[in-house]
A and B are shown apart, each in its own frame.
Chain A
Amino acid sequence: MSMVVRKRRRIPWGAYLALAPTLGLLGFFRYYPDVNGLVHSFTNWEPGFASPFVGLANYRAMWHDQIWWQSFEHIGVIFLIAVTAMWAIPLGAAELLVTLSRPRWRFVFRTLLIVPLAFSPVIQVLTWEFIYDPNVGVLNHFLQGVGLGALAKNWLGDPNTALWALIFINFPWVAGLPFLIFSSGLQNIPREVFDAASVDGAGRLKRFFFIDLPMLMRQIRVLFFLAVVFVLQYGFAAFIATQGGPNNSTTVPVLRMVDVAFQADEWGYAAALSSTLMVIMMIVSGLSLLLGRKRGGAAR
């Protein structure tokens, strides 16, 4: 601490010099493009040429863009599943894991459950695309095998099932952040708490509702905001497996943005969509910081 006081007199210019490369890199390749995109969202952006100012025209176009708002409905559905089933199953798995009394078994199952994380997400999607394949896919083979052949269909090609097929990629959704956070959270609850509870006669269910869940509340709050950011940037799986189709039934905001820029060549409009997404993400993150700090401070 005394060092801090002494330091305050003399500004260490070397510090700025040492930070310069990092700040330069991030300033030029992260901050500058974002600001530039925001500025050009008010223009008819033609990269390399003069970009005439058009005021709010791009945002007005966005307001009337049905595909854009439809894409938010889709990520809304994805979000609902992401904060319910995609949490419930990993939480169940984590609870089962801590119920095991043998540490070695715990380790083995935990490792096996997260193996899919070591595969590239793109390869995960390609593998699942193959499972859904109408002709050679395992899913249809399986349905035919158990006498439900009538249910077999082109899962990713049918507007009624395509979005759900995308959501069910990586089912049972255990290999992911929620499971890692739940299982390490549960493991960090001190043994004494459980011992005290079992002396008081609390069974496994009571323990879940009155000890485990309250202890995990802070992690759940973090996961909630991560889920918002996750669905806002959701897109590559749809890009690979459905290209947003059929009939725009799986379009998501990121896909719409990419389409507008690279297919329609409307860069000003794409910049407006991109800036909108960015602002939403920043608001969500800011909110998470604010809430996290307030509640976290009170809890400690």
Chain B
Amino acid sequence: MSSTSVTQPLECPDSVVTITDDIGAVRRHRARRVSRRTIIDLTVAAILSVMVFIALFPYLYMLETSLKSNREFLGNAVTPTWPPHFGNFVTAWGDVAPYILTSLVVAAVTTLGCIALGSVSGYVLSRFRFPGRNLFFGLIALLLMVPNVASLIPLFVLMKNLGLLNTYPDLIIPQLAAETVFAVVLMKTYIDQLPEELFDAAKVDGASAGRTYWSITLPLARPIIGTVALFSVIGVWSDYFWPELTIVTNSLRTVPVGVQFFQGELTTAYGPLFAGYLIASAPLLILFVVLARNFLAGIQGGLAVDR
């Protein structure tokens, strides 16, 4: 763009003055363009900042309130007060800890299970040809489109008949089923994209199918394993109706249900209550920070099937 205006006066070298003048003009022009861009950037950033403030306001407010004593809150609900009461977090910890522990156990078993089932099935569906292959994959992918809540009633009856209500398996199995569907679809799509030569080479070297799975597929699928893990934790931290309707033992409650069953001081004082919400959110927040990239990969993978 600017190169043309510089070369033009060079083609007709009437005087040196023209050239220097022109360079000055280019420079000025460029400066004006840069400042115009800066103005646009600053304006856009200002609008976005307002949006960010509104979007994050409830959470900032939660953080602010979690550091107040109840008297401070009732006297002044809006602005921060000094000193911060970190003791609220200590008070809340005892109530929240069991829910976090249960959630982590459910999430860990679910994650391990769906990675095992998802990677084996994804590998088989991607790399082998056998009658029924498309049918099986179709039956699994179909479940991606029917949300769990549609099976709530009959699944409750099934679990009741099996005598599993209000147990760990009751928390884990539906979660595992849901995450396995997601894992199979994601893994198969991912393994489809791996170069065929890798698998051919392994075959030529005499590697068995099991060996190829263990030494080639699994290591290569590591990024997608992170995605599956993140989504199974999100699942446990989001699922509400199932634990709400099937769990009655307090220590078996997962975070989404548990935070409604705070006891004692947490029901009367806002500071510890919000401190409890924040502690309950912490594991997911941390995982999000660590696995942010995997999150976007999972969204794209999930949508790829819908198309």
Contact = CB atoms under 8 A, between A and B. Distances in A.
Interface in A197-247: 218, 222, 225-226, 229, 232-233, 235-236, 239-240
A148 interface: no
A26 B140 contact: yes
A256 to B, nearest CB: 12
A81 interface: no
Interface in A12-64: 12, 14-16, 18-19, 21-23, 25-26, 29-34, 36-37, 40, 45, 47-48
B259 A122 contact: yes
B130, B150, B161, B270 pick with most chain A CB within 10 angstroms: B150
B51 A172 contact: yes
A15 B130 contact: yes
Nearest to A274: B153
Nearest to A280: B150
B108 interface: no
Interface string B142-177: 110111011111111110110000000000011011
Contact of A184 (B47, B161, B300): B300
Contacts of A150: none
A7 B128 contact: yes
B51 A93 contact: yes
A271 B158 CA distance: 13
Nearest to A255: B241
B240 A127 contact: no
Contact of A180 (B173, B174, B299): B299
Contacts of B149: 233, 235, 254, 277
Interface in B67-111: 73-74, 77-78
A127 B154 contact: no
A102 B58 CA distance: 28
A229 B284 contact: no
A14 B254 CA distance: 38
A121 B85 CA distance: 26
B270 to A, nearest CB: 7
A261 interface: yes
Interface bracket on A:
35 or more
A264 interface: no
A233 B238 CA distance: 13
Contacts of A29: 155, 158, 173-174, 177
Contacts of A184: 296, 300
A14 B209 contact: yes
Contacts of B281: 118-120, 123
A21 B146 CA distance: 21
B218 interface: no
B14 interface: no
Interface in A85-125: 93, 96-97, 99-102, 105, 109, 111-113, 115-124
A233 B146 CA distance: 10
Nearest to B173: A29
B125 interface: yes
A11 B176 contact: no
B260 A240 contact: yes
B306 A118 contact: no
Nearest to A236: B240
B150 A11 contact: no
A80 to B, nearest CB: 21
A281 B145 contact: yes
B54 A172 contact: yes
A278 interface: yes
B6 interface: no
A122 B130 contact: no
Contact of B306 (A25, A222, A267): A222
A47 B55 contact: no
B259 A126 contact: yes
B222 interface: no
A34 B154 contact: yes
A167 interface: no
A240 B244 CA distance: 10
A214 to B, nearest CB: 17
A222 B303 contact: yes
A101 B35 CA distance: 12
A250 to B, nearest CB: 16
A49 to B, nearest CB: 11
B237 interface: yes
B228 interface: no
Interface in B116-145: 117-118, 120-121, 123-125, 128-133, 136, 139-140, 142-143, 145
Interface in A267-284: 267, 270-271, 273-274, 277-278, 281-282
Contact of A115 (B56, B142, B173, B245): B56
A177 interface: yes
B49, B129, B154, B180 pick with most chain A CB within 10 angstroms: B154
Q: Please provide the 4 A-B residue pairs with the shortest distance between their CB atoms, ordered closest to farther.
A: A37-B154, A285-B145, A33-B154, A122-B256
10 contacts: A40-B157, A97-B48, A119-B281, A121-B240, A122-B238, A122-B259, A141-B77, A180-B296, A258-B241, A274-B151
Interface of A: 3-4, 7-8, 11-12, 14-16, 18-19, 21-23, 25-26, 29-34, 36-37, 40, 45, 47-48, 93, 96-97, 99-102, 105, 109, 111-113, 115-124, 126-128, 131, 136, 138, 141, 145, 171-172, 174-175, 177, 180-181, 184, 218, 222, 225-226, 229, 232-233, 235-236, 239-240, 254, 257-258, 261-262, 267, 270-271, 273-274, 277-278, 281-282, 285, 288-289, 292-293, 296
